[in-house]
Structure 1
Amino acid sequence: MFNIISYLLFLSISSYITIDVGRRCYNAGKFYLEYIIHDTDLCLTINRILLGCYYLLNLGYIAISLTSWDKVNSMEELLTVTAIRVGNIALILCVLHYINIFTLYFLRKNLTIK
């Protein structure tokens, strides 16, 4: 019983975080990409591709992480396991976000040098 509750809690929290962060990065990323690339149509295409890949990667990781879930026997374990799993998702989102920003920054820097 505790496993099902922890699955549902984890899926709802992590899916909400993933979708909300993706939407926010998509909206804010438009301006960042236009500043870097200076081509509105290309920026929109790149932003949509990044959003799609972001959702696929994160929601796939969320689904796969359920397979390695330990048996939860108490409310304390439920909260602990769910908090650790949600924290892992948040850290992954943070790392992916900064990798994208730095990659685009260095691509822009290399394009302007040549």
Structure 2
Amino acid sequence: MDRTVIAYVIYLVVSIGLTVWVARTLSRNGRVFLADVLHGNEKLADAVNHLLVVGFYLVNLGFVALYLSDDDTVTDTRGVFEALSAKLGVVLLVLGVMHLANVYVLNKIRRRGVMEREQNPPVPPQAWTTPAAQA
């Protein structure tokens, strides 16, 4: 088998494995965060979580597929490692950027909800108090 094909197979296996692992981790740990953002609506949190995971898979696996092609032919074992390290490094950076973008957007949504909750008084006003006269 050609070394280039071996590099492609290793790249695909590692990239897809990393994408699945990151997506599952984000899904499992992000559910609690989403439930807080969505004011305890568990069904909506599960639905949004699922949609985010599907979008995460589509973007990252699409990038992995597009980034698969290489103009250089791998001629030796050193070339396999160099090609893999460059490609996997970029895939890891894209996974990290996608994760940070998701957290940023969800944090903005959460902050907006917290601000809305803080604007409403916890107890409605009970009575009117006349201001004291200045001395």
TM-score tier by shorter-chain length is over 0.9
What is the TM-score normalised by the length of structure 1? Answer: 0.93
The 3 A distance-change label for structure 1 pair 77 and 102 is: same
> 2:75 is paired with a residue of what secondary structure?
coil
Cα deviation per residue 1:56-93 (whole Å; 9 max; x = unaligned)?
Answer: 11111111111245221111011011011111111111
CA distance in 2, matches of 1:68, 1:54: 24
State the partner residue of 1:8: 9
% same residue: 26
Shift of 1:108: 1.8
Write out aligned runs for 1:65-84 (5 A). Answer: 65-84=67-86
Code of the aligned partner of 1:100 = N
Question: Paired residue for 2:100, among 98, 101, 105?
Answer: 98
Which structure has more relative contact order (CA 8 Å, sep 6+)? It is: 1
Question: Paired residue for 1:108, among 107, 110, 129?
Answer: 110
Bigger Rg, structure 1 or 2: 2
CA distance in 2, matches of 1:112, 1:32: 13
CA distance in 2, matches of 1:32, 1:95: 19
> 1:67 is paired with a residue of what secondary structure?
coil
Q: How many residues align?
A: 114
CA distance in 1, matches of 2:12, 2:71: 12
CA distance in 1, matches of 2:113, 2:29: 22
What is the TM-score normalised by the length of structure 2? Answer: 0.79
Runs of 5+ unmatched residues, structure 2: 117-135
Would you say the 8 A contact 2:37–2:113 is kept in 1?
no
> 1:66 is paired with a residue of what secondary structure?
coil
Write out aligned runs for 1:21-36 (5 A). Answer: 21-36=22-37
CA distance in 1, matches of 2:71, 2:56: 23
Code of the aligned partner of 1:42 = L
